[in-house]
Chains A and B, each alone.
Chain A
Amino acid sequence: MLTVLVRRLANVIPTLFAIVAVVFLLFSVLPGSFISAMNEDGRGMIDPAVMERMRKEMGLDDPLIERFGKYVGHLAIGDLGNSFRTKEPVTKLIGDRLWPSLKLVLAAMLFAIVIGVPLGFIAALKPGSVTDATSMVVAISGLSLPKFWLGLMLMYLFALQLKLLPSFGYGDGGLTHLTLPAIALGVSPMALLARTTRAAVLDVLNADFVRTARSKGMSEPRVVTWHVMRNALVLVITTIGLQFGSLMGQAVVVEKLFAWPGVGSLLVDSVFQRDVPAVQGCILLIVLFFLAINTLIDLAYVAIDPRIRYA
Chain B
Amino acid sequence: MKLRTNLLVGGGLVGLAIVVAILAPWIQITDPVLDANLMNAEIPPGADFPFGTDQQGRDIYSRIVHGARISLTVGLVSQIANTIIGVTLGLTAGYWGGLWDDLVSGVTNLMLAIPSLIFALAIMAILGPGLVSLLIALGLTNWSYSCRIARAQVLSLKSQGYVQAARILGYGDLRIMFTQLLPNMLGPLIVIATLGMGGSILAEAALSFLGLGIRPPYPSWGSMLSEARDQITTAPWLSVFPGLAIFLTVLGLNLLGDGLRDILDPQSQERRA
Interface residues of B in 202-255 (CB under 8 A from A): 202, 205-206, 209-212, 222, 225, 228-229, 232-233, 236, 239-240, 242-243, 246-247, 250-251, 253-255
A272 in contact with B211 (CB, 8 Å): yes
Given the complex, which residues of B lie within 8 Å of A156, measured CB to CB?
Answer: 232, 236, 239
Q: Give the size of the chain A interface in residues (CB under 8 angstroms).
A: 54
Q: Is A1 an interface residue (CB 8 A)?
A: no
Stretch in A82-90, A102-110, A192-200 with 4+ CB within 8 Å of B: A192-200
Stretch in A54-62, A70-78, A138-146 with 4+ CB within 8 Å of B: A138-146
Task: Render A223-255 as a binary contact track against B, CB cut-off 8 A, 1 for contact.
Answer: 000000000000100000000001011101100
Given the complex, which residues of A lie within 8 Å of B270, measured CB to CB?
Answer: 195-196, 199-200, 235
Most chain A beta-carbon neighbours within 10 Å: one of B2, B127, B210: B210
Interface residues of A in 179-211 (CB under 8 A from B): 192, 195-196, 199-200, 202-203
Once bound together, how far apart are the Cα atoms of A246 and B118, in whole Å?
10
Q: Is the interface of A mostly helix, strand, loop or mixed?
A: helix
Closest beta carbon of chain B to A236's beta carbon, Å: 11
B121 in contact with A271 (CB, 8 Å): yes
Once bound together, how far apart are the Cα atoms of A257 and B247, in whole Å?
18
B113 in contact with A287 (CB, 8 Å): yes
Q: Is A93 an interface residue (CB 8 A)?
A: no
Contacts A26-B126, A146-B206, A152-B239: A249 and B225 contacting too (C-beta < 8 A)? Answer: no
A-B CB contacts (within 8 Å), total count: 132
Closest beta carbon of chain A to B211's beta carbon, Å: 7
Closest beta carbon of chain A to B63's beta carbon, Å: 16
Minimal Cβ-Cβ distance residue in A for B221: A146
Once bound together, how far apart are the Cα atoms of A149 and B121, in whole Å?
19
Task: Render A1-45 as a binary contact track against B, CB cut-off 8 A, 1 for contact.
Answer: 000000000000001001100110011001110000100100000
Once bound together, how far apart are the Cα atoms of A247 and B269, in whole Å?
24
B115 touches which of A23, A140, A153, A246 (Cβ 8 Å) = A246
Once bound together, how far apart are the Cα atoms of A133 and B3, in whole Å?
12
Once bound together, how far apart are the Cα atoms of A147 and B206, in whole Å?
8
B243 touches which of A18, A128, A146, A287 (Cβ 8 Å) = A146
A sample of 21 inter-chain contacts (CB < 8 A) reads A15-B109, A15-B110, A19-B114, A22-B110, A133-B2, A140-B258, A143-B254, A144-B247, A146-B247, A148-B209, A148-B225, A149-B225, A235-B270, A248-B115, A249-B118, A252-B206, A253-B209, A253-B210, A283-B118, A286-B115, A290-B114
